[in-house]
């Protein structure tokens, strides 16, 4: 059974990946797909939304005759990630307590 990943969790996952290092969309998508069942068409709207909300910036770098668009977490993005991590911790604890068999 697949559980649909909430938007805010996808935001946090992307911000967390980018908090480690700047990278481009394909790498972000593959990193998420290693752990979760999400499509490539799901990830690019997440990146656009995060950029629109000023949590990310972009810059372009040439690579083998093409241009790659890299994503970078802003200070606002770092703050948003911290908020998501806090909220996730509380949510995770509550759900685990409710799902435990006793």
* Domain residue ranges of the chain, discontinuous segments joined by +: 7-96
Query: In this structure, which long-range contacts are made by residues 22-31, counting pairs with CB atoms below 8 Å and at least 24 apart in sequence?
Result: 22/70, 22/71, 22/72, 23/70, 23/71, 24/68, 24/69, 24/70, 24/71, 25/69, 25/71, 28/71
Residue 4 scores a pLDDT above 90? no
- The band of 1, judged by pLDDT with boundaries at 50, 70 and 90, is low
pTM for the whole structure: 0.89
pLDDT digits (tens, 9 = 90+) for 19-48: 999 999 999 999 999 999 998 899 999 999
Give the number of other Cβ atoms within 10 Å of residue 14's Cβ: 26
CATH of domain 7-96: 1.10.10.10
């Amino acid at each position: 059974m697949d559980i649909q990943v909430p938007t805010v969790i996808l935001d946090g996952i992307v911000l967390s990946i980018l908090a480690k290092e700047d990278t481009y969309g394909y790498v972000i998508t593959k990193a998420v797909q290693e752990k979760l069942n999400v499509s490539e068409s799901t990830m690019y709207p997440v990146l656009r939304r995060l950029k629109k909300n000023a949590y990310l910036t972009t810059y372009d770098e040439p690579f083998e005759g093409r241009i790659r668009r890299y994503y970078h977490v802003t200070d606002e993005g770092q703050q948003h990630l911290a908020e998501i991590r806090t909220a996730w911790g509380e949510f995770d604890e509550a759900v685990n307590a409710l799902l435990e068999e006793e």
